Structure 1
Amino acid sequence: MATTAVTLADVVAALPLPSVAINAEERITVLNTPAEDLLGKGLIGRHFVTALRQPALVNAVERCLSGEGPCQARFNSIGGEHGTTYDVSLRPLGDHGIVLLSFNDVTEMAQAGQMRRDFVANVSHELRTPLTALIGFIETLQGPARDDTAARERFLGIMAQEAERMNRLVGELLSLSRVEAEERVRPEAPLDVRDVLGGTLRNLGPLAADSNVTLVPQLGEEPAHVLGDADQLMQVFTNLIENAIKYGGRDSSVEISTEIASYDPAMRGPAVHVSVRDHGPGIDAIHLPRLTERFYRVDSHRSRALGGTGLGLAIVKHIMNRHRGRLKITSTSGQGAEFRVILPMKTESD
């Protein structure tokens, strides 16, 4: 049987990851098509530094060529909105003085790690502020204000507010954790969205009355059946309507409406639209794409003053993901904002 000689170029070309071979003279001898797409064409015969350039990876190549054995390094490619992060594995090919580099895209892992670090930092910051205030008031009550009745009552009131703020934050964090844990499990209970909205509006009636805000429901006569989790959907509508009451301003109105769409492109079928619209100052367009990020606030001071944790819309987003729905936000500065929930409608086949 005839045998076919397999060259290094053949092997590297067959590898699915971007791969580069560098010889003992520190020249690039082989690279496959994915590596050309990443690093550029016309690199054969050139010194590897001209292609790689990043100090950590250059150092790893030099160590591996000097006989230190397998190495790992990180390589960042600039391109797209956030760039791409690669873990590079460097392995010597026997005793031939050649090092093979394989680039593994770990962008999602790197972003997830950064998100976790940002999340911990944000939670720490959000808790540190009320904790610092509580510690300061406790020290004052134990010292200079020990016998000052008026100061004690005022400080205790502020301490109660700060403690409630921490309690809300912890509650939202637990809620976010539960929602994320269930996100891949689609609800199967049939319900009428109008019933959920009715309960939500009854619960929020006192809050609206305190702000002299008129809730204007337009829930229609046609049933709006979906497969959903009633408690989670009430959480969604409570968040959106409560925000509209708080940020829409006193002495105004909030319209809540439902609409049946026979075909919605995003749902690829019939859908239920629920709109919550206020008439407040609106939201600048630059903020709209980031509103569902954890701890993102358009106005941090005002949000905290109104009791916001910065997690409400993040929870809404995850609940919408679980329900295979969408949240669309539109606003014009000075003309209020509209938050539209889109849910796939229950069909006879469901």
Structure 2
Amino acid sequence: MIPDLVHSILAGMPMPVLIVDRTGRVAAMNAPARAMFGPAGPGRHYIAVLRQPALLDCVEEALRLGQVRRARYLTTDIAREATYEVLASPLGEGGADGVTVAFSDITEREQVGQIRRDFVANVSHELKTPLTALLGFIETLKGPARDDAAARDRFLDIMLREATRMSRLISDLLSLSRVEAEERMRPEAQIDLAATLRGTVQALGTLAQAADVALILEGAEQPILVQGDSDQLTQVMENLIENGIKYGGTGGEVRVVVTQSARELAFRGPGVRVDVIDKGEGFDPVHIPRLTERFYRVDNHRSREMGGTGLGLAIVKHIVNRHRGRFRIDSTPGEGSTFSVMLPRITV
């Protein structure tokens, strides 16, 4: 029999916990454990309740040896896949009263670890390609092309492009790291978003002209005050407008449209919306949920050819989050794309 005090302790524990007695039967389970394994567990043999081989071995060794044992338990429900660290601890002297089996949810920790591993793998891959190219051209210039002036000039141009790409990637990585570190600290300065947009459009005018794209700014004639970081908001607008020119410029026009509202539902107050609209090829909306992931590209080859690092929209997302704003993407194949930033607006 399990004392009432033990039942009370089990009921107060937030993690799934069950007790297996010396005969191998489940003597008690708290509510989270019942939700995980079903309400009919007490009285049944633990093999019929737990089932996963690694978990069964863990409990069996703890019962047999009277020692603490650990295992991992993987489960999938309707909402998600979860990973638990299982601790089987003897009860009483040498496990004379059975074992307690406690489940600690380590899903988030595992996901963070996987994200870190994926990030390192992606960065390594992104740097390996240009580094391999540079090493190959250096070896060629030192050997077969030593006295070939035409080949030397061509290779040096390619080396410059690849080195510039690596420099841009490292710069974006540092920028992303800095933005993520500051994401919970809202900027306190008041800035004129209209002036920021006018300066950005003017700075990118040469790029638009070279791409034969008409860059049009609408709705930024009067000051628009927002609480923000001027450099970061400039970076957001530069990223979005430059992307519009590079990837959506086939339509011959990129429009930057500013719209103010007296009450934006997302902020429950005044807001301003900046839409960067292109008439290019567009893309399948299936990509939209992943576009702000690090290194995700709709067209890997084209993005690299254009000098993209795959980090621009991830940086945009984190900066907009820091400004308590919203970031939206809409696209239709053959009709173009719209990238929208919504920010709370200061009224005077």
Within the candidate set 43, 46, 58, 1:45 is matched to 43
Cα displacement string for residues 118-156 of structure 1 (whole angstroms, at most 9, x for unaligned residues): 000000000001111111111111111111111111111
Structure 1 equivalent of residue 329 of structure 2: 329
Structure 1 equivalent of residue 86 of structure 2: 88
Query: Deviation of residue 220 (structure 1)?
Result: 4.4
Structure 1 equivalent of residue 168 of structure 2: 168
Query: Deviation of residue 68 (structure 1)?
Result: 5.0
Moved over 6 A (4+): none
SS of match in other structure, 2:308: coil
CA contact (8 A) 2:320 2:326 kept: yes
CA contact (8 A) 1:211 1:251 kept: no
Q: Which amino acid aligns with 1:92?
A: P
Structure 1 equivalent of residue 58 of structure 2: 60
Structure 1 equivalent of residue 8 of structure 2: 10
The structure-2 alpha-carbon separation of the partners of 1:200 and 1:140, relative to structure 1 and needing over 3 Å to count, comes to same
Structure 2 equivalent of residue 217 of structure 1: 217
What are the within-5 Å matches in structure 2 for residues 143-154 of structure 1? 143-154=143-154
What are the within-5 Å matches in structure 2 for residues 135-146 of structure 1? 135-146=135-146
Q: Distance in 2 between matches of 1:48 and 1:283?
A: 52
Structure 2 equivalent of residue 242 of structure 1: 242
Q: Distance in 1 between matches of 2:10 and 2:332?
A: 54
Query: Deviation of residue 209 (structure 1)?
Result: 0.4
Structure 1 equivalent of residue 319 of structure 2: 319
Query: Deviation of residue 190 (structure 1)?
Result: 0.6
Q: Which moved more, 1:84-93 or 1:7-16?
A: 7-16
Structure 1 equivalent of residue 300 of structure 2: 300
The structure-2 alpha-carbon separation of the partners of 1:307 and 1:80, relative to structure 1 and needing over 3 Å to count, comes to farther
CA contact (8 A) 1:65 1:97 kept: no
Q: Distance in 2 between matches of 1:336 and 1:35?
A: 51
Query: Deviation of residue 225 (structure 1)?
Result: 1.4
Structure 2 equivalent of residue 28 of structure 1: 26
The structure-2 alpha-carbon separation of the partners of 1:49 and 1:334, relative to structure 1 and needing over 3 Å to count, comes to farther
CA contact (8 A) 1:254 1:278 kept: yes
Query: Deviation of residue 157 (structure 1)?
Result: 1.0
Q: Distance in 2 between matches of 1:115 and 1:244?
A: 29
Structure 1 equivalent of residue 157 of structure 2: 157
Cα displacement string for residues 27-86 of structure 1 (whole angstroms, at most 9, x for unaligned residues): 222111111112222112222233323333222212211225222222222024541222
Q: Which amino acid aligns with 2:71?
A: A
> In the alignment, does 2:265 pair up with 1:262?
no
Structure 2 equivalent of residue 108 of structure 1: 108
Q: Distance in 2 between matches of 1:137 and 1:109?
A: 43
Q: Distance in 2 between matches of 1:50 and 1:156?
A: 69
SS of match in other structure, 1:56: helix
Q: Distance in 2 between matches of 1:230 and 1:277?
A: 22
CA contact (8 A) 1:183 1:319 kept: yes
Q: Which moved more, 1:77-86 or 1:239-248?
A: 77-86
Structure 1 equivalent of residue 191 of structure 2: 191
Q: Which amino acid aligns with 2:37?
A: L
The structure-2 alpha-carbon separation of the partners of 1:117 and 1:143, relative to structure 1 and needing over 3 Å to count, comes to same
The structure-2 alpha-carbon separation of the partners of 1:220 and 1:133, relative to structure 1 and needing over 3 Å to count, comes to closer
Q: Which moved more, 1:61-70 or 1:312-321?
A: 61-70
SS of match in other structure, 2:4: coil
> In the alignment, does 2:74 pair up with 1:76?
yes
CA RMSD of aligned residues (A): 1.6
SS of match in other structure, 1:73: strand
Q: Distance in 2 between matches of 1:81 and 1:121?
A: 28
SS of match in other structure, 2:204: helix
SS of match in other structure, 1:249: helix
CA contact (8 A) 1:236 1:316 kept: yes
CA contact (8 A) 1:19 1:102 kept: yes
